[in-house]
Chains A and B, each alone.
Chain A
Amino acid sequence: MTLPIYLPLGLGALLFGLGLWGALTRTNAVRILMFIEIMLNGVNLNLITFSRYYWQQNAESAARAPIITLFIMTVAAAEASVGLAIILNVVRNRGSVDVDKINLMKG
């Protein structure tokens, strides 16, 4: 690889930062869920980058990073499906997706 390792790692960090920005400022619950997916993607990018540059020495450990990434994606898919189901329920019961207005448990 001629590409310096800093570039993909920096892209992963920037993606995480952008996702953090979106997830903390938007009030629409669906949009927050989307930014969490973006943040997870930045993490995956870092993992795959490190694997590409350093973990290829023996065949035994080479397959680890794609498998961990697969599990991260599994958890992300499960989280997205349950999260969207919860959001749909909230919309039915409260008539709003604005997370600032979901204040039933507020003391």
Chain B
Amino acid sequence: MGQYFMFTILSIVTLVSAYQMVRVRLITHAALFMALAFTAVAGIFLMMQAEFVAAIQILVYAGAITTMVIFAIMLSGLADIKSERAKKGGLWTKSDPFVLVVGAVFAAFMSYLYVAAKLPQAKSDKAMASVEAIGRSLFTTYMIPFEIASILLLIAMVGAIILTAKEAEQE
């Protein structure tokens, strides 16, 4: 019973903040709603006993990516970037209802598939893999993908620095 209660609260928070991200005018507010949605999803990960993923979720998504988005908004001193321009009829543009239908049809179809697949009841009550097990297999079986991921992050960092530091060089 407590599980249902927690799941309901967390999913309502997630969905409402994702909806608010679409609706809210100021983009800084949208970024903060994104952080709230990520934190609620981290709570659901905790319910799934995936504490490692929940911690990474809060560190990377709610921490790093949100901060980076807000920094990018602040760094470009453009009024345009901060808020959606008031269009005719507010934020509800012509394409909105159509694409909303597309998204809703996708979600309904996926939900239908999940129900129609008649997934078997969960067999095991075993606990999720511990952080120790994750670390052990990350540094033995998945050693090479791990190193490739670190190279990817390095390349992304160098690329971001080169892309943004070009202007400062010329001045």
Cα separation A28 to B49 with both chains bound (whole Å): 36
Given A10-B114, A16-B107, A18-B19, A24 and B99 contact (CB-CB distance below 8 Å): yes
Given contacts A10-B111, A59-B133, A66-B53, contact A25 B99 (CB under 8 A): yes
Residue count of chain B within 8 Å CB distance of chain A: 85
Complexed CA–CA distance, A75 and B161 (Å): 17
Contact of A2 among B3, B30, B48, B110 (CB under 8 A): B3
Q: Does A102 contact B (CB under 8 A)?
A: no
Residues facing A in B60-79 (CB within 8 A) are 60-61, 64-65, 68-69, 72-73, 75-76, 78
Whether the Cβ atoms of B48 and A88 lie closer than 8 Å is no
Total A residues in contact with B, Cβ cutoff 8 Å: 76
Most A Cβ at <10 Å: residue of B7, B122, B133, B155: B122
A44 touches B68 (CB 8 A): no
Pick the contact of B68 from A6, A60, A73, A81 — CB < 8 Å? A81
Q: Which residue of A lies closest to B49 (CB)?
A: A52
Structural contact, B14 and A15, CB atoms closer than 8 A? yes
* B78 in complex: contacting residue of A9, A34, A51, A91, CB < 8 Å: A91
A84 to B157, CA, bound (A): 12
Point out the residues of chain B lying under 8 angstroms from A22, CB to CB: 18, 21-22
Chain B nearest CB: distance from A4 CB in Å? 9
Residues of A within 8 A of B64 (CB): 77
Among B22, B73, B164, which residue has its beta carbon within 8 angstroms of that of A26? B22
User: Within the complex, which residue of B45, B84, B96, B115 is in contact with A28, where a contact is CB–CB below 8 Å?
Assistant: B84
| Residues of chain A whose beta carbon lies under 8 Å from any beta carbon of chain B | 1-3, 5-11, 13-22, 24-28, 30-31, 33-35, 37-38, 41, 44-45, 48-49, 51-54, 56-57, 59-60, 62-67, 69-71, 73-82, 84-89, 91-92, 95-98
Report B's interface with A, CB cutoff 8 A.
3-4, 7, 11, 14-15, 18-19, 21-22, 27, 30-31, 34, 37-38, 41, 44-45, 47-50, 52-53, 56-57, 60-61, 64-65, 68-69, 72-73, 75-76, 78, 80-81, 84-85, 93, 95-96, 99-100, 102-104, 106-107, 110-111, 114-115, 119, 122-129, 133-134, 136-138, 142, 145, 149, 152-153, 155-157, 159-161, 163-164, 166-167
